[in-house]
A and B are shown apart, each in its own frame.
Chain A
Amino acid sequence: MPPLQQTALHDRHVRAKARMVEFGGWSMPVQYAGILEEHRHVRSACGLFDLSHMGEFYLSGSTATGDLQLLVTNDVARAQPGQCVYSPMCNERGGVVDDLVAYRLESDRWLLVVNASNHDKDLAWVRAHTSPTTVVDDQSFGTSLLALQGPFAATVLGDHLEEASQLKAFRCSQARLAGHDVLLSRTGYTGEDGFEIYCTDAAAGPLWDLFMADPRVKPIGLGARDTLRFEARLLLYGNDLDEETTPLEAGLDWTVKFDKPDFIGRAALLAQRDSGPPRKLVGFKMTGRGVARHGYAIVAGNAPIGHVASGTFSPTLEQNLGLGFVQPAFAAEGSRFAVQIRAQQVEAEVVKTPFYRRPRP
């Protein structure tokens, strides 16, 4: 196995006594003070994340927008420069190659932010499905990404960048932050208000230190990032999405635009829309004692009816919750089934998602 990639902030994480783990070929902090404490800090104050492992591809040229329309299921052509669009990128079978956020930087220039674990696969896929006139520039190594997330994120960033609070949700803008050129977006993966900040590796350390000097800010690892995104029903590639799962099964219908020009996977997805997906992703709470985990079987009577995609103890709701793929007959709110946890079948009940929605002012 090749040696692990280290982010520009690696030494800072080690000094902060973070527990480092391998993730997507990178050495990343999974926790600092503890997952529960970090999770609650993001829900109540402001957390700082190092997400430099994420992949960044730039697409440019007169054919870039048309190519991107073919690559992803959402209608990116509707976005104006300065807008961000979340979308699955599907294969011909309608399965998800990856889910990504496309930033329309200029009319003919896009930034695609992809999952670290899919970097190589995505780059090959994008290159194989773009015109010779579209330039695909992989800047994943050399780009750092910091995220500030939580109810205080706008005021924390606002202390250094007056216009921060003016930026609307899912918009992006070039900015000058403490003497560094950054790309700023009002996006995140926690269910809270927040920002993501793309910068050079050289700027990452100084910007990290700048935010860490603020007493409202604490560093947050990938462990809490997972529980935060889970409560907000933001899907995780590898758990909730994969190449055998369609966006329609995963409840991402809103990201599949059949009324736009052709895209990869359209025919398969259209057929599935018309026949109805064979399974649906639902949220459930454990009514019996036990924690549902990825891959556990879901049963009704003694028959298997699905499997757990993601499951954990929810720090905000303080109960054991899960997302699972089940047959449509079991997808309605209030439906009951059991999760096979080791030797036991533990009762669960379908509930509304997202499990957590942030309070709006």
Chain B
Amino acid sequence: MKSHFPEQLRYTKDHEWVELLEDNHARVGITDYAQEQLGDIVFVEVPEPETEFEQGDTFGVVESVKAVSDLYMPVGGKVLEVNPDLEDQPELVNQAPYGDGWMLEIELTDTDEYENLMGAEEYEEYVQSERDSKEDEADDDDEEDDDRGFKDDEDDRD
């Protein structure tokens, strides 16, 4: 079950990643752990180019078969481009979360925000602690609210 997260990316507790490009540009997407937790992704809603966001703002929505989850800006910035392929192939987020499943290209507002994000090793530890607490939750039905991203809006029903 151990995931290996790319070393060159930075990560948030909401399970977004940021890849720093040249000229203060960056790419944003969700992590392999996030896509695995969501399951089959059937819809991605991303903002229009030129939209500006602050760190932590909701920038879009990702929907799996059963769940609707908000996407949070890992860093502040202006949207330069969105991944045009996600409209017809949202499954790219499952198949290649760091590659063809990227979501936004942005211009960073403040590089400090990027520098302060988690590195791969720290994020991996964070994910492990979340996995552990999820197992506890499944065992004793501890339905405490939490501050994770990707929280299901809906109950699983049958």
Contact = CB atoms under 8 A, between A and B. Distances in A.
Contact of B40 (A34, A239, A289): A34
Given A238-B157, A293-B153, A31 B39 contact: yes
A3 B157 contact: no
Interface residues of B, number: 21
A289 B61 CA distance: 13
A37 B91 CA distance: 13
A22 interface: yes
B43 A3 contact: no
A1 B154 contact: no
B15 to A, nearest CB: 16
Contact of A236 (B45, B61, B64, B158): B158
A35 interface: yes
B68 interface: yes
A contact patch SS: mixed
Interface string A206-246: 00000000000000001101110000000010110000000
Interface string B36-61: 00011011010000000000000001
A315 B158 CA distance: 17
A117 B156 CA distance: 12
B153 to A, nearest CB: 7
B66 A291 contact: no
B42 A222 contact: no
A23 B42 contact: no
Interface of B: 39-40, 42-43, 45, 61, 63-66, 68, 87, 138, 140-141, 143, 153-154, 156-158
6 contacts: A34-B39, A35-B64, A226-B158, A291-B43, A293-B154, A320-B43
Interface of A: 1, 3-4, 19-24, 27-28, 30-31, 34-37, 116-117, 222-223, 225-227, 236, 238-239, 289-291, 293-294, 312-313, 315, 320, 342
